[in-house]
Structure 1
């Protein structure tokens, strides 16, 4: 049981690192890190979201998110504002610069898909399976 090839964790870990490495040159053109890209993906979907919700969706703590969000704010891709209804809540909102970045990033998913050399069906199946496992872990241990 203690052989590397029998461990589920290793291929997932190695694949995650390799996929992130495939993203790197695509994101460098946009001056984004992979975690910054994930935040921008959420903003492109919602336009406005709380830091707490970002942390929950990306499984990141506020200690990790705060400096990341500050850098994106310095790049003028988003704003951080306290909620008028509840001052404890900090809302992150997309700027026009952040919206323009969406169009610059539009080719990234397709480029990554081509680099993986799998069919669309295989990708959808793999994504569903991994999301299911992640949801199960979060439900029982999150």
Structure 2
């Protein structure tokens, strides 16, 4: 009877553990805690390694990929600029051809050549009543002074201009247009004005002024570029 009651009590209320059982239990609990610590430590270690690897990849790839993107954008922009520059050069070359055709048309009306017409136009723009030196005209036309000298002598023979030695320096020859030439140019003024209005019809005065300024700046850069090419730089 007592043994039966003892068995029943043990089923309802856990029996008090012995010392040996307590030691075993503590070892089991410590082992479980140790395993749990090792498991957590392993997870933290793996997480740290993965994070370190990710940061390493970002450090290796990040700046490089950004650099590649910037270089790619820069190269693409430079390529576009080169294309635009080539197109602009072709447009300027075409404009020069058409201007040359127009110059020869006006020159034929006077029975002279295109370059001779340009010399007359330069004198008409530059002369302030005292004549214009050969060097000044040659600089404006971007030709050698000897060319201007030769052509101006031919124009003088045809009665289109006067040549006289400067009173201040005998080495300088002053050129000026004759009254005959001024009258001929004045007779063409209305036709030239009508043609200019047609050519620049799509430009306002402000736009035309800005375009002229841009072209003047481009001309200066081209002059410097020509010197660089000549000097082999």
TM range (shorter): 0.7 to 0.9
Determine helix, strand or coil for the equivalent of 1:29.
helix
SS in 1 for 2:189: coil
Residue 136 of structure 2 corresponds to residue 53 of structure 1: yes
RCO comparison, higher one (Cα < 8 Å, 6+): 1
Are 1:110 and 2:178 matched, yes or no? no
Pick the structure with more helix per residue.
2
Aligned residues: 141
Q: Aligned to 1:42, which of 122, 131, 134? A: 122
Query: CA shift at 1:140, angstroms?
Result: 7.1
CA distance in 2, matches of 1:135, 1:19: 20
Contact 1:44 1:102 in 2 (8 A): no
Q: TM-score, normalised by structure 1?
A: 0.78
1:89 Cα deviation after fit: 0.5
Aligned Cα root-mean-square deviation (Å): 2.8
1:124 pairs with 2:204: no
| Cα pair 2:103 2:117 within 8 Å, conserved | no
Aligned to 2:220: 135
CA distance in 2, matches of 1:132, 1:110: 28
Unaligned runs of 5+ in 1: none
Contact 1:78 1:98 in 2 (8 A): yes
Is the 1:36–1:68 contact (alpha carbons within 8 Å) kept by the matching residues of 2? yes
In the alignment, the residues of structure 1 paired with residue 111 and residue 193 of structure 2 have an alpha-carbon distance, to the nearest angstrom, of 17
User: What's the counterpart of residue 33 of structure 1?
Assistant: 113
Distance apart, 1:32 and its partner CA: 3.7
What are structure 2's unaligned runs of at least 5 residues?
A: 1-78, 228-233
Shift, 1:116, TM fit: 5.5
Which residue of the partner structure matches residue 79 of structure 1? Answer: 162
| Closer, same or farther: CA 21–116 of 1 in aligned 2, 3 Å | farther
TM-score, normalising length: structure 2: 0.51
Question: 1: CA distance between counterparts of 2:160 and 2:93?
Answer: 30
